[in-house]
Amino acid sequence: MANTAIREPTLYVLSALAAGPLHGYAIIKAVEELSDGRLKLRAGTLYGALARLQADGVVAFDGTAKEGGPERRIFSLTRAGAKLLADELDRLEANAAMGRSQLRRATS
Amino acid sequence: MTVGERVMRRLVDRVELDDCSRDDLLHDAIRLGRERGRCGTAGEIAALASTGIELRARQATNGDAAAFLRQGLWFGGALTAIAGVASLSPVAFAADAGPAPIAALGALIVALVGIVVNCRGLVPVVRVATSVAAVAAWWAVQLDQLGAPESALVTTSAIALALGARPSLDGVARPSVVLVPTVVAIAVGALAAITDVDASSVTVAFLTIVVPVGLLVVSAADPRVGVAAAVALFWRFVATDPAGLAAIVVAVRAGESTLGPVIRWIVMGAAFLLATGLTHRNLRLIAAR
């Protein structure tokens, strides 16, 4: 898709996966923790996003795992996904730096 | 298993994912619903429904904004064609009906059958049939057998279907078990209105006001239905006769008329603009990751 804008929930999902492969439920819990409880993803929302990200080559299946329950599919960030996340974080950092510099100019 | 969890299972069965992902999705939705209580379960159900609709729409369009737009126009053309059947039926089935309204109705029914069958080869038939219906409806207006708004409804449908594209679900999904009977039921309901002008008006109002409002709610997950709503609301706007508004305004100022038609025109224009704006926003959101 031509438009590469990233929505906030997707940014958190990619950030959660940046630390290592996770299954769906673990991604939801990681996003909740990373956002200090602000973002509580629904399962439907997460799997819809994962399907989109997988189609775009950003996320991939990475085997299965069994942790005291049924066998779960594990997702991991691809190289393209890691680059997308890094680029987005660079863009956010640049925006934040620009905003802070404008604030300093206003207060000086 | 609770009622909410059974609903979740039904919804997950219809989500366009592979079987393993579906199992994981259902497992996680049930687990989160239990953790987050009744509101959490309701939220999981809403998210599952929304995701199911969104994934189906993406599969039918490959996530392409132009495809969303063109398929939405096709849905809008179908919706206005159904309303057209309801609108033309009382005139075409009247004892003194001329050939023009009968030809317009017949052509619209042929087009509707083509839309419901949803086969690639029938697309030209649908377009030719609605064009014939539009010409016949215009002819009926010239003969004073039909009102201009009814003719505009058929023309709106013909233009939307000419610009639109049939949703291509070949090899991916079967015809929707909800959509097809709904379309057939509405078409049959419209035909049932043939002997009763009031029932016909109510059906047309339902299809071009109530249904579009419902479609706008769903359009966050599937912008195609937002486009369809905009098509129907566009006709409501045109049917208020913008050309005659100046004369109405003059009559209102002279105290010879009420403000009713002007207010209706403004409301319908605002509804059309709202539908267009919402759909544009939803198309942008769905293009983002």
CA distance B45 to B133: 42
State yes or no: ipTM above 0.90: no
Rounded distance, CA B267 to CA B261, Å? 10
Chain A residues within 8 A of B55 when measuring between CB atoms = 48, 51
A68 touches chain B (CB under 8 A): no
pTM over 0.90: no
The average pLDDT across B51-70 equals 86
Nearest by CB: A47 against B17, B31, B36: B17
pLDDT in tens, B180-226: 655 666 666 666 665 666 777 888 888 888 999 999 988 888 899 99
Q: Which residue does chain B place closest to A61, by CA atoms?
A: B21
3-state secondary structure of A59: strand
Q: Judge residue A73's burial from the number of C-beta atoms within 10 Å of its C-beta, 0-12 exposed, 13-18 middle, 19 or more buried.
A: middle
Across the interface, whether the CB atoms of A44 and B47 are under 8 A apart is answered yes
Residues of B in contact with A6 (CB under 8 A): 288-289
Put the strands of the sheet holding A22-23 in their side by side order. Answer: A22-23, A71-77, A59-66
Terminal Cα distance for chain B, rounded: 34
Residues 227-286 on B with a CB inside 8 Å of A are: 284-285
Q: What per-residue confidence (pLDDT) applies to A40?
A: 92
Helix (H, G, I), strand (E, B) or coil at B129: helix
More confident residue, B81 or A64: B81
Reduced to 3 states (helix: H, G, I; strand: E, B; else coil), residue B116 is helix
DSSP state of B146: S
- Tell me, rounded to whole angstroms, the distance of Cα B212 from its chain centroid: 6
Res. B13: pLDDT tops 60: yes
Q: Do A73 and B21 touch (CB under 8 A)?
A: yes
pLDDT band, very low/low/confident/very high, at A2 (cuts 50, 70, 90): very low
pLDDT tens by residue, B111-148: 988 888 778 888 899 999 999 999 999 999 999 888 88
What DSSP state is assigned to residue B174?
P
Residues of B with Cβ-Cβ distance to A80 under 8 angstroms: none
Rounded CA-CA distance B227/B116 in Å is 19
What is the rounded radius of gyration, in angstroms, for the C-alpha atoms of chain A?
Answer: 16
Question: Above 70 in pLDDT, residue B99?
Answer: yes
Chain A residues with CB inside 8 Å of B25's CB? 24, 43-44, 47
Q: What is the pLDDT of residue B88?
A: 87
**Rounded to 5, what percent of chain B is helix, strand, coil?**
80, 0, 20
Rounded Cα gap, residues B285 and B226, in angstroms:
13
According to the model, what pLDDT value does residue B181 have? 57
- B28, B49, B285 member nearest A43 (Cβ): B28
Say yes or no: A69 contacts chain B, CB-CB below 8 A: yes
Which amino acid appears at position A71 of this protein? E
A106 touches chain B (CB under 8 A): no
DSSP 8-state assignment for residue B62: T
Of the candidate ranges A71-75, A89-93, B23-27, B92-96, the one whose mean pLDDT is the lowest: B92-96
Tell me how far apart the alpha carbons of residues A59 and B126 are, in angstroms, rounded to a whole number.
42
CB proximity under 8 Å: A 23-42 to B: 23-25, 28, 40, 42
Three-state SS sequence of B229-288: HHHHHHHHHHHCCHHHHHHHHHHHHCCCCCCHHHHHHHHHHHHHHHHHHHHHHHHHHHHC
Residues 6+ apart with CB under 8 A from B236: B208, B209, B268, B271, B272
